[in-house]
Amino acid sequence: MKAYSIFVLFPLLFPTLVVAQFVGGSSMLGPHIGVSNVARATVLGAKFEEGITEAGPGTIGVSGKLDYYSSNAGVLGNQTFIFAILSANYHIKFGDGSLDPFFGFGLGYLAETNKFPDASGITFYNTDGSGFRFVFSFGTRYFLSQNLALRLEFGTSLVYAVGGFDFGF
């Protein structure tokens, strides 16, 4: 499953890095922790975002996000999820620039592995939940300094909410 995930996740996140290499905008990268839709499991992940162009009263950016979470239901089995997202975000210029509200649309790929014990003692795996998902998210960054921000983000897909730090470079 891990080798399969690399072949699926890399093509989703690679375009974000290519765009970042050529547009020369502002880059943000940071870890986050949050809550998922599966038994409110803890989400661990990271987000990279690159500002691309000014558009009206804001900025358009492209981002790549990778989230991992799992749930252990004891005798009912274990579930593991890796969710990779590529999205376009619109950041609204607000006040002195220390507050950065944004919203975004994108496409993500969920790699799901379910490990269920059978009554006969044989364990079987199921990946029926894997596949592409549309994503809508909104949130805000609060800049503590020019290169450090707190981020709070909510989503309508598999990860409900995350909070973390973003480092600019």
At residue 73, does pLDDT exceed 80?
no
Most confident of 11-15, 29-33, 74-78: 29-33
Q: Is the pLDDT of residue 67 over 90?
A: yes
Work out the number of other CB atoms within 10 angstroms of the CB of residue 87.
Answer: 23
Average pLDDT, the chain: 82
Read off the pLDDT band of 22 (50, 70, 90).
very low
pLDDT given for residue 92 in this prediction: 94
Residue in the block written with tokens 């989230």: 67
The pLDDT of residue 97: 82
pLDDT at 37: 81
Beta bridge partners, 6, equal none
Domain that holds residue 85: 2-168
* pTM > 0.85: yes or no: no
Whether residue 66 is predicted with pLDDT greater than 90 in this model: the reply is: yes
Lowest-confidence range among 36-40, 117-121, 129-133? 117-121
pLDDT given at position 121: 63
Euclidean distance between CA atoms 44 and 30, whole angstroms: 11
Burial of residue 61 (number of CB atoms within 10 Å: 0-12, 13-18, 19+)? buried
**pLDDT given at position 102:** 96
Count structural domains, the chain: 1
Report pLDDT for 39.
74
The CATH number of whichever domain residue 93 belongs to comes to: 2.40.160.20
Asked if pLDDT for residue 10 goes beyond 90, the answer is no
Task: Determine the pLDDT at residue 5.
Answer: 46
Beta strands (DSSP E) in 5-157 are 27-36, 42-55, 58-72, 78-92, 99-117, 123-126, 131-145, 148-155
- pLDDT, one tens digit per residue, over 105-126 is 999 999 988 887 766 566 666 6
